[in-house]
Amino acid sequence: MRTKLVVVAGLMISASALNAQQLTGKVKNAQGRGIEKVTLSLLSAKDSSVAKLAVSNEDGNFAFSAATGKYLISASHIGFATVYSSPFEVADTDIRIPDIVIKEEAGALAEVTVISKKPIVEVRADKTILNVGGTINATGTDALGLLRKSPGVLVDKDDHISLAGKNGVRIYMDGKPSPLSGTDLANYLKSLQSSQIEAIELITNPSAKYDAAGNAGIINIKLKKNKAYGTNGSVSAGYAIGVYAKYNGGINFNHRNKGVNIFGSYNYTDNKVNTIIHGYRTVLDTIFDGHVDAVSPDKSHGFKTGVDFFLDKKNTFGVLVNGNLGQNGFNNTSRTSIIYAPTGVVNRILQTNNSNKMKANNVNFNLNYRFADTSGHDLNVDADYGLYRNDGNQLQPNYYYNPAGTALVSQVIYRFLSPTDIDLLTFKADYEQNFKKGRLGVGGKVSAIRTNNNFQRFDISQLNPELKTLDISRSNEFDYRENINALYVNYSRQLKGKMIQLGARLEHTASKGSSYSLKADGTVNTSNPQLLKRNYTDFFPSAAITFNKNPMNQWGISYSRRIDRPAYQDLNPFEFKLDEYTYLKGNTALRPQYTHIVTITNSYKYKLNTSFSYSHVNDVFTYLLDTTERSKSFATRKNLAKQDVVSLNISYPFIYKSYMAFVNLSGNYSHYRADFGGGNRIVNLEAASFNIYMQHSCQFGKTKAWTAEISGWYNSPAIWEGTLKSKSMWTLDAGMQKNIFKGKGTFKVAVSDIFFTMKFDVKSNFAGQYTRAYGSFESRQFKAALTWRFGSSTVKAANERKDASEEEKKRTKKGGGIGTK
């Protein structure tokens, strides 16, 4: 009940923000003509920090929405002197700002260097660009703080970033995917000051330039060149406890001068998580009623190091190495009552004590080159090699007891060895230039992956545990190779009142899977392998148009076709046992799934963001719980015939002084259809579901060094993986943060899932088998973290501060009215 009140209150607060006062005005030149594409900044009169951003339309008109307070407005445009309005106060009525007149820069060209200034906010067909450029740094914030102010971006209390309501956002730095994630990424962004950033690109509709696989959004942070010098970094440590204690720590550094940038990081994690699962399954005349108590330990060492060489103003060459060395696994205690359904009498009890020791190591190498000149030519070349070495060693004893559980009746013991080697090689090149009053991009990518999985199942002797016999009928080696070659072309152009973007990507995929049996001594039998070959070419068009005549109320429509290819694990036909009656199995017949997506979007005053989309998926992936050998159950990936999804997403941020709230509401209707043989093997499920996410934070204290935060979400009943019906879930988190060490450090404490409500409950009814699984994991935790940031920010700041100081003096002397900078 308390959570419902918080959610409703959050919605009411966000709704009330729509009643903020409207500020309108016009920018014109000395001749009285309206000027378009002028950057307008609504500044706090107290400290000149940026409150809102706007761009004038073709008639020179602009508009802001603002809460009560005292403000002034700055206007800047290429070739014109920046001007400031006189301060004014916003109360409870709309305000018409006196016309702002901007004049052309005066002075001899021989003595002046003209620097092109872009609008601070640009909304294009496939992305929104925030040109930070030197204006937003008046707030004195860091990169993470800038993202909090970006439209459609959410940064939660754990510094996790989402875009347009979607998690799994990829962060790019200067057009290259960042190897950092989680806390390391957040700490790096906190060490990156706004004065170092040129622009932030929010890409919610990836163009043909990006891989056709997946649909996650991208945030590309473009750094200023030759301005961020010196050495900086951070050190962090964290502790958490739920059922078990958890520890983490890390350090990262960066050193940059005119010729080189050296960077690196190291982090350590020691994590142990408890999970409880209850399972209930009926098939024919048998009921399986089980309970699993699992503990999953995880220790890992993550690292990254690299160097960028700035050969000259146009050419940059870089080297990067990153990876992770981990030891993990699980220890499960499972107890299942096997019941004769007609009488309800327990026939026997199966107890399985699984233990699996795993190693997961990966190292990635990258070479990169970039050419960029002032006329708009841009070339990026990347070569990557990644190697992943995983190893599993599982012991699974299955003990059968009498109905009372007091006497051992029989036992079957297995050991599974499953080393996996993955090698990934990619090479890509992207080129862009100005063309026909627009921007033309072409490029290509070649990727090759090879996976080798050797799966060995041994029968352990009941008399001598050291004696094991390889079961060649349940063992195999699966070798999978996949090569993807891609070419693309993309073109975008701003027309009068609208921006268009057209793209096309061609991808050719050649894959080969070979499943080999093993000999009694464990060597591979290379004769008569089971082969899986595929060779196909796909065309992926994309198009988008944004109607931006009125920058404060922009509409857009986009279309794209995407693909998701099966993972090698889903193709490997070997069986992975959970116990004697339950196992996982690959499917060599699994096909790629294809998605057509149409989206209509609206951005109102850069704050109220709405999107409505329709997706049609052919051969959608699903996990299907099927039966075999009468009473045994196995889970496998299969293709459903089709899926239709209609979704709506609405988000709105609200900021008032030191209080900030964000509410996101998303809903969707899904319909899954498939026929696997008629009768009880038909899938025809439909469901309407919704999700509410809310976040509230408030800074307080004399220097605003304290921050309190509460956040939570609610998921309504839905369908998982096409065949599983889930019940609702919700959670509520709360935390407190304190800035320490004169702003160089932060100390944070938090409690996740306060009411321990993040529990799952799913059901399936297919092929005469009814299954229900419900449980929870260690979601309620107390967490504490300490971070200290050190080092310098910029070296060129001396001249910049001097210029800024002189300009501030000029503006101050002008007093009221319009001041010229």
Q: What is the mean pLDDT of residues 119-132?
A: 56
Displacement of CA 692 from its chain's centroid (Å): 18
3-state secondary structure of 461: coil
Does the pLDDT at position 174 exceed 80?
Answer: no
CB 651 within 8 A of CB 305: no
pLDDT in tens, 319-334: 999 888 888 888 989 9
pLDDT mean over 61-83 = 81
State the pLDDT at residue 796. Answer: 41
Element (H, E) at 553: strand 553-564
Output the pLDDT for position 195.
53
Q: What's the rounded mean pLDDT across residues 119-138?
A: 49
Query: Which among 275, 252, 374, 405 is positioned nearest to 330, based on CA atoms?
Result: 275
How far apart are alpha carbons 72 and 608 in whole angstroms?
23
What is d(CA 450, CA 419) in angstroms, rounded to the nearest whole number? 14
Q: What is the average pLDDT across 291-318?
A: 90
Using only C-alpha atoms, the chain has a radius of gyration, in whole angstroms, of 30
Q: pLDDT tens-digit profile of 345-399?
A: 999 999 988 898 988 888 889 999 999 888 889 999 999 998 888 898 989 898 9
Q: What is the pLDDT of residues 440-481, one digit of tens each?
A: 999 999 989 898 989 898 988 877 777 889 988 888 888 989
Average pLDDT over the chain reads 78
For 461, phi then psi, to 5°, come to -65, 135
Lowest mean pLDDT among 119-123, 383-387, 482-486, 552-556: 119-123
Classify each residue of 797-821 as buried b or exposed e, where b means 16 or more C-beta atoms within 10 Å of its C-beta: beeeeeeeeeeeeebeeeeeebbee
Would you say how long the chain is, in residues?
821
User: Mean pLDDT, to the nearest integer, of 766-784?
Assistant: 87
Q: What SS3 state is found at 60?
A: coil
136-150, 205-219, 698-712, 765-779: least confident range: 136-150
Which residue's structure tokens are 């009285």?
Answer: 32
The average pLDDT across 124-144 equals: 51
How many angstroms separate the CA atoms of 16 and 579, rounded?
55
Residue-level pLDDT at 293: 94
The residues near 38 (Cβ < 8 Å, ≥ 6 apart) are: 27, 55, 56, 60, 62, 75, 76, 77, 80, 102, 119
pLDDT, residue 162, reads: 59
Question: Per-residue pLDDT tens for 403-417?
Answer: 999 999 999 898 989
Query: What pLDDT score was predicted for residue 585?
Result: 73
Model confidence at 30, in pLDDT bands (50, 70, 90)? confident
CA distance 383 to 783: 39
How large is the average pLDDT for residues 6-33? Answer: 59
Among 6-20, 536-550, 582-596, the minimum mean pLDDT is found in 6-20
Classify 583 as helix, strand or coil.
strand
Which of 213-222, 564-573, 699-708 is least confident? 213-222
Q: Is the pLDDT of residue 160 over 80?
A: no
Residue 34 is classified by DSSP as B
pLDDT the model gives residue 819: 36
Confidence band, pLDDT 50/70/90 cuts, at residue 149: low
Tell me what pLDDT residue 81 has.
77
Amino acid 782 reads: F
d(CA 452, CA 321): 23
Higher pLDDT, 225 or 36: 36
DSSP code string of 248-262: EEEEEEEEE-SSEEE
Kindly tell me if the per-residue pLDDT of 21 is higher than 60.
yes
Query: What pLDDT score was predicted for residue 820?
Result: 35
Q: What is the pLDDT of residues 623-635, one digit of tens each?
A: 666 655 555 666 7
Task: Please tell me the distance from the alpha carbon of residue 640 to that of residue 443, in angstroms, as a whole number.
Answer: 34
Spatial distance between the Cα atoms of 413 and 462, rounded to a whole number of angstroms: 7
Element holding 12 (H helix, E strand) = helix 2-16
Which tens digits make up the pLDDT trace of 491-510?
A: 998 888 888 999 999 999 99
Q: What confidence tens digit (pLDDT) does each residue in 270-279 have?
A: 889 899 999 9
- Per-residue confidence (pLDDT) for residue 264, from 0 to 100: 87
Count CB neighbours of 500 within 10 A: 16
Per-residue pLDDT band for 802 (boundaries 50, 70, 90) equals very low
Cα distance between residue 20 and residue 611, in whole Å: 22
Helix or strand holding residue 672 (H, E) = strand 659-675
What's the gap between Cα 635 and its chain centre? 28
Confidence (pLDDT) at 215: 53
pLDDT of 603 > 90? The answer is no
Separation CA 215–CA 204 (nearest Å): 9
Q: What is the residue whose two structure tokens read 């036992």?
A: 411
Question: Using CA atoms, how far apart are residues 236 and 231, in angstroms rounded to an integer?
Answer: 17
Higher pLDDT, 483 or 709: 483
Tell me the HSE value of 506 on the side-chain side, using a 13 A CA sphere.
5
Using one digit for the tens of pLDDT, what is the confidence trace for 546-592? 888 887 788 999 998 888 778 767 777 766 666 666 667 777 778 88
Euclidean distance between CA atoms 596 and 45, whole angstroms: 49
Beta strands 21-28 and 95-96, pairing class? parallel
At position 129, the amino acid (one-letter code) is I
What is the per-residue pLDDT for 381?
95
178 vs 363: which has the higher pLDDT: 363
The owner of tokens 């050797």 is 454
Given a cut of 60, whether residue 294 has pLDDT beyond it is yes
Asked whether residue 764 carries a pLDDT value surpassing 60, the answer given is: yes
Q: What SS3 class is residue 527? A: strand
| CA–CA dist 143, 222 (Å, integer) | 11
| Residue (of 594, 574, 595, 571) closest to 584 by Cα position | 574
Q: Are 396 and 413 in contact (CB under 8 A)?
A: yes
Is residue 428 predicted with pLDDT exceeding 90?
Answer: yes
Residue 378 has a pLDDT of: 93
Contact 532, 512 (CB under 8 A): yes
Contact call for residues 723 and 685 (beta carbons, < 8 A): yes
Average pLDDT over residues 85-114: 68
Among the ranges 53-67, 644-658, 707-721, 733-747, which has the highest mean pLDDT value?
Answer: 733-747
The helix/strand count (H/E) of the chain reads as: 5, 50
Q: Cα separations (Å) of 189 from 145, 173, 796, 803?
A: 9, 11, 20, 27
Residue 783 confidence (pLDDT) above 80? yes
Most confident of 415-424, 644-653, 693-702, 759-768: 415-424
Question: For 419-424, what is the mean pLDDT?
Answer: 88
Cα gap 393→31, rounded to integer Å: 80
Q: Are strands 218-223 and 170-173 parallel, antiparallel or unpaired?
A: parallel
Residue type, 661: A
- The pLDDT of residue 214 is 56
